[in-house]
Amino acid sequence: VGNLYTMTVAIGDHDAGGRPGFSGYDIRLLAGGSTVASISSTTTPGDGTFTDVSFSYTAQAGDSGLLGIELQEINGGSGKAVDFDNVRLSFVPEPSSTALLGLGGLAFIFRRKR
């Protein structure tokens, strides 16, 4: 509870000019089968290119169960295609925890030098 997570997905079309482009995407982060964070867009990168899309999520008390990811293209029924690549979900440490770790490391270095 209270932990911050960042999800990043590379979205694009790996096939430069081979397939028709797509008209959008929808990305959802799920906890216990329920959507807890999402992002969608109708802006898409050009053929043969990828763009990173990121969003953040803070864990809540009611979140439970397995963590899942749902990726889908919007209006993709007419030969349009979207590629999702390099999906990353990372934990973002609290600034206070990072500062304490840094101070502990400095104390260890100064103690060793004596």
Tokens standing for residue 52 = 């990173």
Q: What are phi and psi of 77, to 5 degrees?
A: -75, -15
pLDDT digits (tens, 9 = 90+) for 9-29: 888 876 666 555 567 788 888
- CA–CA distance from 88 to each of 9, 16, 45, 55, 106 (Å)? 6, 24, 19, 11, 31
Residue 114 and residue 105: Cα distance in Å, rounded?
Answer: 15
d(CA 32, CA 107): 42
Banded pLDDT at 39 (limits 50, 70, 90): confident
Give the percent of the chain with pLDDT over 70.
75
What is d(CA 108, CA 17) in angstroms, rounded to the nearest whole number?
57
Which residues lie below 8 Å from residue 96, measured CB to CB, with a gap of 6+? none
